[in-house]
Amino acid sequence: QARAMASTRGVVLGLVVALFSIIIFNTLTYRSLQVSLSHEERDHAHSYNLYTNKQLATRLSKAINIETISHEDRSKTDYAKFKELHRYLEATFPKCHSYLEREVVNEYSLLFTWRGHDPSLLPVMLAAHLDVVPPTADLDDVGADPRKNFSGWEHQPFSGDVDDEFIWGRGSMDDKLSVMGIMEAAENLLGEHHKPQRTLYIAFGHDEEIGGDHGAKKISELLQSRGVKLSLVLDEGLPILVGMFPGVSQPVASVGAAEKGFLSLELTVRAKGGHSSMPPAHSAIGILSQAIVNIENNPMPLSPDSALQLLDWVGREGPWWMRIVFSNMWLFKHPLLYALQKTPTFNALLRTTTAVTVIQGGVKANVLPTQARVIINHRIAPGNTVEQVIAHDRDAINDPEVEIRVMESLDPAPVSPSSSREFKTVQRATLQVFQDVLVVPGVMLANTDTRHYWSLTPNIFRFLPQAQTKEDLARFHGYNERISIENYAKIVDFYYHFIRLQYNQ
């Protein structure tokens, strides 16, 4: 018996030693995936140099002044403002309008073509959008004048105010800074007589904020009709996240290699109605309420692959405890996922989310409603499909009295490979300007114009290098949108370097 116990202890000890050996080996061989820059790149031998930071800020400010608001009800959109922005771009960037091919697509979108000297190479595309959301969430409903005084704003939404530190106004974060930044970089490079090796398309849609069907979609259809295929699309997207990853001191430049889909479902319950003094056991509102509870209590299973890729890239740069965890996901994956899904931010990265956004039912205190209605909005994680989410909700509701209608839907975008030359091009351009950041593949939670470019290339990345803290994220589509003068100048320089990287590829 003693011999057997000793043998068991020996086996256990051997297993423990083997376990720790594997953990230590994996940790020690867990290497960075960041690209290395040459001395020339690190020393910024070439950089944007046409205007000062303050001059760049003033030029962006004038674009912000032009109220290119997209309304869900397109009849409310003032399309003359888009023509005004076209004229401003033409006056501000004369070289781009002289030396690049310029096309107006579907009246209000713009497509520039900068011909490369090697037609055998697939072109690249830089994309952005000319439109902005209304200054307040209720503007579409009340038809308010966008020039009125908005009390929630420190600076009026279309003032384009420039103080000692920031450029203020709608479009300073989403997305006129991209439009102007791309054009500033191209104008500078044209002045230096540069010509890219591969052709560069610059695409500006005019209705991204309401789906892009009249803008980016038409640009894509035009390119497809010409048989164009692309090496890469770089559109607006995720920012440089500052202080959002515990244990990681460096800012994290999250490049959207994946983008969630969406699904809006309308659930309706109909009933006979009548006086509230003689109610049935369950009213239309009661039945619908149970359906909502069933859906909220039964979330979609985790679909974590894209989120885990982001964490893997970040984990390689973290402290020792982080490298131990992320280099040994075979051991720590399940407890890590259990912990992460408890926070709203990581839960949104890890699975298809469910949000009850609109509910209607009943008109009077003593009258039973004849109908109750709710809208459920899902953001669909890579790895799930629209059909899977519909089937999941139907099973969770499990009530034939609840009618389900699809209002709008889009499957998640194909995931672009982070091992590709194209991703490394984005990495390299970022690190040339923001040398202290980590560049990692991420998941775009919202939707962009890139949905219309899926058929043009497998390499679509969503990234705009504006440095944002957790508090800054609320400014997107919210009050007090702003970008720092210094950060905007670096965004211009980022596009400058990105375009230069097309010279020798």
pLDDT tens-digit profile of 338-378?
999 999 989 999 999 999 999 999 999 999 999 999 999 99
Tell me the C-alpha distance between 366 and 36, whole Å.
71
Tell me the C-alpha distance between 374 and 287, whole Å.
12
Q: What is the pLDDT of residues 185-228, one digit of tens each?
A: 999 999 999 989 999 999 999 999 999 999 999 999 999 999 99
Q: List all residues 6 or more positions away from 31 whose beta carbon is below 8 Å from its beta carbon.
A: 316
CB-CB contact of 95 with 109 (8 Å): no
Output DSSP code: residue 172.
T
Mean per-residue pLDDT, 130-158: 71
- Other Cβ atoms closer than 10 A to 315: 23
Residue 392: both structure tokens together: 């999941």
CA 36, 40, 42: angle at the middle one, nearest 5? 50
Percent of the chain with pLDDT over 90: 87
131 as an active site residue: the answer is yes
Residue 330: both structure tokens together: 């075979």
Amino acid 42: pLDDT: 65
Amino acid 141: pLDDT: 40
- Other Cβ atoms closer than 10 A to 78: 13
- Which has the closest alpha carbon to 381: 445, 453, 462? 445
Output DSSP code: residue 185.
H
- Which has the closest alpha carbon to 110: 68, 78, 77? 68
486 as an active site residue: the answer is no
Q: What is the pLDDT of residues 284-293, one digit of tens each?
A: 999 999 999 9
pTM: 0.93
Q: For the chain, what is the mean pLDDT? A: 93
Q: What is the pLDDT of residues 156-192, one digit of tens each?
A: 999 999 999 999 999 999 999 999 999 999 999 999 9
Tell me the C-alpha distance between 189 and 183, whole Å.
10
CB-CB contact of 275 with 294 (8 Å): no
Mean per-residue pLDDT, 62-89: 97
Q: What is the pLDDT of residues 446-486, one digit of tens each?
A: 999 999 999 999 999 999 999 999 899 989 999 999 999 99
- Which has the closest alpha carbon to 124: 233, 256, 237? 233
Amino acid 39: pLDDT: 57
Tell me the C-alpha distance between 356 and 375, whole Å.
6
Percent of the chain with pLDDT over 70: 95
Residue 231 has pLDDT above 70, yes or no: yes
pLDDT band at residue 41 using 50, 70 and 90 as cut-offs: low
Q: What is the pLDDT of residues 318-327, one digit of tens each?
A: 999 999 999 9
41, 67, 184, 208: the catalytic one is 208
Mean per-residue pLDDT, 236-252: 93
CB-CB contact of 135 with 153 (8 Å): yes
Output DSSP code: residue 176.
H
Amino acid 246: pLDDT: 83
Amino acid 139: pLDDT: 47
**Which residues share a beta bridge with 256?**
442, 462
CB-CB contact of 202 with 186 (8 Å): yes
Task: Determine if residue 8 is left, alpha or beta; phi over 0 gives left, psi from -120 to 50 gives alpha, anything else beta.
Answer: alpha
Amino acid 195: pLDDT: 87
Amino acid 45: pLDDT: 59
41, 67, 131, 422: the catalytic one is 131
If you write DSSP's letter for every residue of 349-381 in order, what string do you get?
HHB-EEEEEEEEE-SSTTEE-SEEEEEEEEEEP
CB-CB contact of 354 with 340 (8 Å): no
Amino acid 351: pLDDT: 97
Residue 142 has pLDDT above 70, yes or no: no
CB-CB contact of 264 with 377 (8 Å): yes
